[in-house]
Amino acid sequence: MSSLNEYLKKSLNTIKKANWYRQEQTITSLSGSIIQIEGKNLINFASNDYLGLAGDSRLIEASLEATAQYGTGSTGSRLLSGHRDLHYQLESAIALLKQSQKALVFSSGYLANIGTISALVGKKDLILGDEYNHSSLKNGGKLSQAQTIDYKHCDLQDLVAKLSINRANHRHCLITTDSVFSMDGDLCPLPELIEIAHKFDCWLLLDEAHSTGVLGKNGAGCVEYFGLKTTDNLIQIGTLSKAVGSLGGYVTGGEALIDFLRNRCSTWIYTTALSPGDTASALMGTKIIQTESSRRQKLWSNINLLKKLFTQAKLNILPSESAILCLPVKNTSQALKISKKLSLNGFFAPAIRPPTVPTSRIRFSMMATHAQEDIENLMESYLIN
Ligand SMILES: *Cc1c(COP(=O)(O)O)cnc(C)c1O
């Protein structure tokens, strides 16, 4: 008989020895560019709340109002007792923002990804995914039981080579990619991916988690950023928990895609509908993304300022076209040391280390609500030993 506890303790010890052990940090203030962690004020470079909406009074108000009107829980799945008109309003607002025919709201982006992939492809099919794809895309592939092959990060030659060998042996083929890669900040080559998908008769699934609200003139994301149009074979998935400032996920695309998912996607059918409060705040966040482009402009001027300061200090960050800026460091213990130094100086920027990524780095997430001094002081504090 093997003891569960013995096994778990041994595994945890291995994790600790590799400096991979992780723990929560408790935030005791409102979400924003300045937060309090365990009693200490820190300038926040660790948040996905790129536009500063998670602590915005309009979103808070919308959430409170919907909660007072409908209650805290949605009480059922969308097809049974969970649906409210708020869900339709949110889906219309997302479709409008994304310039797509239709949208479907999920309880999280993770569920949207695993559910959509496993509903669309199966045993006879093929998935080609970027090796740096988010965990939800990878696990969606596993759940689908399709043959899954990773191509080298943003390497179109490798993708084409693997399609040339494997495409003909399968019924359908789905190419999956993050649009902004979450642990690096770089952008997928979308125009070329669309071309390749067309040439090899593939569908393309784009994970817009870090692009929605951030990229494109109206915040529609990667498709708008490249000046492209949505097509029938393009499936866009995103989250409501990053720039939108709430919780939940979404899929956008053609009318048939959404109707199919409503009838076939188990992570939408068999889970409780998004709560009224989260739905209402996501609706408000989506509207603000569309109407207040000044927030996005401020975000980009902050991103460009930190990039400029890194360049001036002769520090090479990883290639980035997003609100995620990463500074590579030698190893895990160096990453932890720098993150700790920044924290002692009043800045929250996490060390991202294996196994999440192949090489250690400090990851800075920029926000529209950072003040110019916050960014200048961060750089000064980074440079002082
Ligand atoms: C955060 C994230 C998700 C998951 O979204 P949640 O709504 O937090 O579940 C999916 N894909 C990528 C690339 C992400 O960064």
Contact 188, 153 (CB under 8 A): no
Helix (H, G, I), strand (E, B) or coil at 37: strand
Strand order in the sheet with 351-352: 324-328, 361-365, 351-352
In one-letter notation, the amino acid at residue 57 is: S
> What region, left, alpha or beta, does residue 38 occupy, with left being phi > 0 and alpha being psi -120 to 50 degrees?
left
Tell which one of 116, 239, 242, 324 to mutate to probe ligand 1, the residue whose CB is within 8 A of the most ligand atoms.
239
Q: Give the separation between CA 286 and CA 156, rounded to whole angstroms.
A: 33
Report whether residue 136 contacts ligand 1, using a CB cutoff of 6 Å.
yes
Q: Is 207 in the pocket of ligand 1 (CB under 6 A)?
A: yes
Instruction: Output the CA 109–ligand 1 centroid distance in Å.
Output: 5
Question: Is 70 exceeded by the pLDDT of residue 126?
Answer: yes
Residue 56: exposed, middle, or buried by beta-carbon count in 10 A (0-12, 13-18, 19+)?
A: buried
Q: According to the model, what pLDDT value does residue 383 have?
A: 86
- Residue 385: is its pLDDT beyond 80? no
Q: Predicted confidence band at 291 (pLDDT cuts at 50, 70, 90)?
A: very high
Tell which atom from ligand 1 comes closest to the C-alpha of 180.
13
Angle at 40 between CA 37 and CA 44, to 5 degrees: 60
Output the CA 137–ligand 1 centroid distance in Å: 9
134 C-alpha to center of ligand 1: Å? 7
Q: Residue 381 corresponds to which amino acid?
A: S
% pLDDT > 90, the chain: 92
Q: What type of residue is 171?
A: R
Instruction: Over range 346-360, report the average pLDDT.
Output: 91
Report d(CA 243, CA 246) in Å as an integer: 8
